[in-house]
Amino acid sequence: VSDASGCSMIALLHSGAAKFHQNLLPRARQAVCLLLCAGVLKGYSSIISRKLASHGFGASMAAMSSFPPQRYHYFLVLDFEATCDKPQIHPQEIIEFPILKLNGRTMEIESTFHMYVQPVVHPQLTPFCTELTGIIQGMVDGQPSLQQVLERVDEWMAKEGLLDPSVKSIFVTCGDWDLKVMLPGQCQYLGLPVADYFKQWINLKKAYSFAMGSWPKNGLLDMNKGLNLQHIGRPHSGIGE
């Protein structure tokens, strides 16, 4: 979910957000690009055009003109990584917790929250998990627990003004797994509450499907291919190096 290399999820935003009121997310500028190219956003500003051009998306953004007002002030792009193996281990535990705060007017990334999380049920990462995510044992050893990370997320949300009732923000995810399955499932297992702001999100896959008429079975890879976009960053990495 990084500006430089994890840029893969924020474009199905405005019209997608208006129509998919319940679910949205992302990685960052590629997401913006996805929405824009899919025609979900009805107009685009020269500012976004220049930014995307700087990442190699200039040609496909040529049709951008005026960027419409957004329903949300901020889009919070989120992409968990979790313990995993083949066959799957249970319970899975979040080991990387990244959030990008994207300004809904300027499309600038204004702030980043990123922490690794110490797994407690299966503290030793499997070779499969490390190969898939790029996260090695030393990155999670000695890191805060999920409860501590959630407390820091809340502090970050407050510091960024995202808990102000007058500020409209929403999480954006590539699929429902992060906030429908992973976070509530682990919180239930640990007896932790789930903050209300995690209970509404935009699923980028649904926005893409609405715009393009087909479901992206392989997530971002299919969406990028469907829109002739080059993937940026490492797949299955919450935030780029």
Q: Which candidate in 14, 81, 93, 160 is catalytic?
A: 81
3-state secondary structure the chain: CCCCCCCCCCCCCHHHHHHCCCCECCCCHHHHHHHHHHCCCCCCCHHHHHHHHHCCCCHHHCCCCCCCCCCCCEEEEECCEECCCCCCCCCCCEEEEEEEEEECCCCCEEEEEEEECCCCCCCCCCHHHHHHHCCCHHHHCCCCCHHHHHHHHHHHHHHCCCCCCCCCEEEEECCCHHHHHHHHHHHHHHCCCCCHHHCCEEEHHHHHHHHHCCCCCCCHHHHHHHCCCCCCCCCCCCCCC
Contact 48, 64 (CB under 8 A): yes
CA distance 203 to 58: 25
236 is annotated as an active-site residue: yes
Catalytic option among 21, 110, 236, 241: 236
- Give the catalytic positions in this structure: 81, 236
